[in-house]
């Protein structure tokens, strides 16, 4: 018995030693590890702990506003009420969403997206349910807050365009950041941030964005915010001041009405663009909030192309508005003068081809001033044949046609002033004389934009400098800046007497009893305008149609109708404004485009604070002429 006790004692002692040694070894390892962490790596882990404790969060800056020349806001920021859900604060997300759906509609797609986002994110991170709530919806949610655990209202900013469709093509719009836009800028990754997608919003996006602020917050180990330690507000985006007069812009848009086309009004002295209307338009506010598939398809599939800025990207045959170019080219080349006449019997034969005048019975004996005044096609066939396409093209480019002015709007098109070299390179065929005749009346390959036509007539009215159109006001505000800008521009290099001759023809278009726009004249003394009508064919007229006149323009399908054009400047003494109106498939330039141009020019002069009393802003609607061309 005693021996057995001794054996048990020895076994217990050995086990105790083994266990004690193991414990000692473990404690030694732990002590060594603690020494390593607390002494050797103390500085590193102290830094990591501090970084985990303090988080930096970006604060979105206010986007810069856009205003017209008088400071009227065109693009501003409004409060954006958003409803959020935080999953850790609600016992049942789906039940909470069901209750909320009785206050604001939540579609099945939205519900699926919300549930997906709440499962992806940590439970203390809010998820957006809906943006752009109105005040009534916010009030309803706040009243029912006790029954909506986890639901909260957040206030941010959204872009808003007060005049929406009136200036949509100029301003463009903002939209959400796509994955392709991410470039390392953390601001682009903040929730709800939007960037410029078209127009000036896109061109000046970086300047309008501003600089982000920062908030330094203390968080716990899970990342939940405990308190804000420091806050540095961001810098708002720059204000963009335009040369546009939004009142004139509205007037021109209303005057264009339901027609598809463009109206461009430019200051003859400075090149400042006062109106830049394209119709039909769209509501940029819809893009801010996000278009549905149906809305997008409706815009894309509309045959009148509401998304295209026709003022700068619509390329149209200029029709008879091009005849001033041909006249100046011929005068400068010395191939005719004011006494040179040609006889118009309604057509001109060239080889096997027959080229018709718009007036079937012809104009008879025509000189230059009458040729412009009554828009005789046969006269300008003869003139263009004598002067040649090269000299016509050179004069067109001097007057601003075929140019890209880079007015800060994306999508500007250069049009086309053709040459024999261009045709050979692009089409692979030589130039023929008949194409010169057709180009001489602004048809054939010749293409221009409404902006170019406005610049053309502004340069003719100015007669001195090759003024450049511009849309942002920093290039055209005070007199010193205006003088410096115009002094730096190249001279037109056109004989002043030749310009006077062409201007006289334009004056007679609206003042002479046989002028093609006589009935669209401005009646007020001192406000009269000079102009030129244009009607551009979009299809070839068959011999049978020409013989019997089967269908009138208005009886044809919309896309088969002629384009209606009119260019003008006013007043006659010391011209100040120039306008170009293009009505797409509008028919006759004298019937449709000229009255619009008249009213816009009259309104511009009535609004001129240097010449007329404020508050007088009503344009009359005179009867329209039935003369063609």
Q: How far apart are CA 400 and CA 325, in angstroms?
A: 10
C-alpha 395 chain-centroid distance? 30
**Cα torsion angle, 206, 207, 211, 212, sign:** negative
Please provide the distance, in angstroms rounded to a whole number, between the alpha carbons at the two ends of the chain: 137
Using alpha carbons, select from 237, 109, 250 the residue that is nearest to residue 600: 250
* Rounded Cα gap, residues 612 and 615, in angstroms: 9
In this structure, the number of other CB atoms found within 10 A of the CB of residue 372 comes to 29
Half-sphere exposure of 470 (CA within 13 A, CB side): 18
Give catalytic status of residue 320 as yes or no.
yes
3-state secondary structure of 410: coil
Strand partners, 225: 219
Q: For the beta carbon of residue 511, count every other beta carbon within 10 angstroms.
A: 17
C-beta of residue 511 within 8 angstroms of C-beta of residue 518: yes
The catalytically annotated residue of 320, 375, 384, 520 is 320
What's the CA gap between 407 and 169, in Å, rounded? Answer: 13
CB burial readout 453-463, b (16+ within 10 A) else e: bbbbbbbbbbb
Cβ neighbours for 255, distance < 8 A, ≥ 6 positions apart: 263, 596, 599, 600, 619
Q: Which residues contact 120 (CB under 8 A, 6 or more apart)?
A: none
Helix (H) or strand (E) holding 517: none
Could you check whether the bond before residue 571 is cis, i.e. omega within 30 degrees of 0? yes
3-state secondary structure of 142: helix
Catalytic site positions: 320
């Amino acid at each position: 018995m005693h021996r057995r006790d001794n054996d048990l004692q020895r076994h217990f002692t050995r086990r105790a030693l083994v266990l004690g040694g193991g414990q000692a070894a473990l404690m030694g390892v732990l002590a060594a590890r603690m020494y390593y962490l607390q002494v050797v790596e103390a500085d590193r882990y102290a830094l990591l702990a501090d970084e985990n404790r303090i988080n930096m969060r970006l604060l979105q800056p206010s986007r810069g506003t856009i205003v017209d020349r008088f400071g009227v806001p065109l693009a501003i920021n409004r409060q954006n009420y958003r409803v959020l859900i935080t999953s850790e604060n609600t016992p049942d997300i789906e039940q909470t969403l069901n209750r909320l759906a009785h206050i604001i509609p939540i579609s099945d797609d939205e519900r699926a997206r919300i549930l997906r986002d709440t499962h992806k994110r940590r439970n203390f991170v809010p998820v957006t349910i809906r943006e752009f709530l109105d005040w009534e919806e916010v009030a309803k949610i706040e009243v029912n807050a006790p029954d909506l655990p986890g639901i909260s209202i957040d206030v941010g900013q959204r872009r808003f365009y007060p005049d929406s469709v009136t200036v949509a093509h100029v301003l463009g719009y903002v939209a959400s950041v796509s994955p392709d836009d991410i470039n390392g800028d953390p601001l682009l990754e903040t929730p709800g941030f939007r960037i410029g997608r078209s127009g000036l919003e896109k061109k000046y996006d970086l300047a309008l964005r501003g600089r982000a602020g920062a908030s330094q917050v203390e968080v716990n180990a899970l990342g939940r915010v405990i308190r804000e330690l420091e806050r540095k507000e961001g810098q708002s985006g720059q204000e963009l001041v335009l040369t546009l007069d939004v009142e004139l812009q509205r007037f021109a848009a209303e005057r264009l009405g339901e027609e598809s086309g463009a109206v461009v009004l430019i200051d003859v002295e400075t090149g400042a663009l006062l109106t830049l209307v394209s119709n039909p338009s769209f509501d940029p506010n819809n893009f801010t909030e996000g278009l549905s598939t149906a809305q997008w398809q409706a815009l894309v599939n509309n045959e009148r192309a509401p998304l295209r800025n026709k003022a700068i990207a619509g390329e149209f045959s200029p029709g008879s508005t091009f005849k001033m170019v041909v006249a100046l080219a011929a005068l400068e080349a010395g191939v005719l003068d004011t006494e040179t006449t040609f006889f118009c019997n309604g057509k001109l034969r060239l080889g096997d081809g027959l080229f018709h005048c718009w007036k079937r019975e012809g104009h008879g004996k025509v000189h230059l001033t009458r040729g412009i005044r009554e828009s005789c096609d046969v006269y300008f066939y003869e003139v263009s044949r004598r002067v040649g396409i090269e000299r016509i093209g050179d004069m067109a480019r001097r007057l601003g046609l075929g140019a890209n002015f880079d007015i800060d709007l994306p999508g500007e098109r250069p049009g086309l002033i053709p040459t024999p070299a261009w045709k050979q390179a692009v089409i692979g065929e030589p130039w023929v004389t008949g194409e010169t005749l057709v180009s001489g009346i602004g048809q054939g390959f010749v293409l221009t934009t409404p902006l170019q036509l406005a610049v053309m007539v502004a340069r003719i009215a100015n007669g001195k400098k090759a003024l450049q159109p511009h849309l942002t006001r920093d290039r055209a505000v005070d007199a010193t800046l205006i003088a410096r800008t115009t002094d730096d521009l190249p001279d037109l290099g056109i004989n002043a007497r030749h310009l006077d001759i062409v201007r006289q023809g334009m004056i007679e278009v609206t003042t002479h009893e046989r002028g093609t726009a006589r009935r669209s004249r401005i009646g007020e003394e001192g406000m009269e305008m000079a102009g030129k009508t244009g009607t551009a064919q979009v299809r070839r007229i068959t011999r049978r149609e020409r013989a019997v006149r089967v269908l009138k323009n208005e009886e044809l399908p919309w896309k088969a109708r002629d384009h209606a054009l009119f260019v003008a400047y006013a007043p006659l003494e010391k011209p100040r404004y120039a306008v170009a109106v293009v009505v797409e498939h509008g028919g006759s330039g004298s019937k449709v485009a000229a009255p619009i141009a008249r009213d816009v020019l009259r309104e511009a002069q009535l609004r001129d604070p240097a010449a007329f009393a404020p508050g007088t802003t009503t344009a009359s609607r005179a009867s329209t002429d039935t003369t063609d061309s």
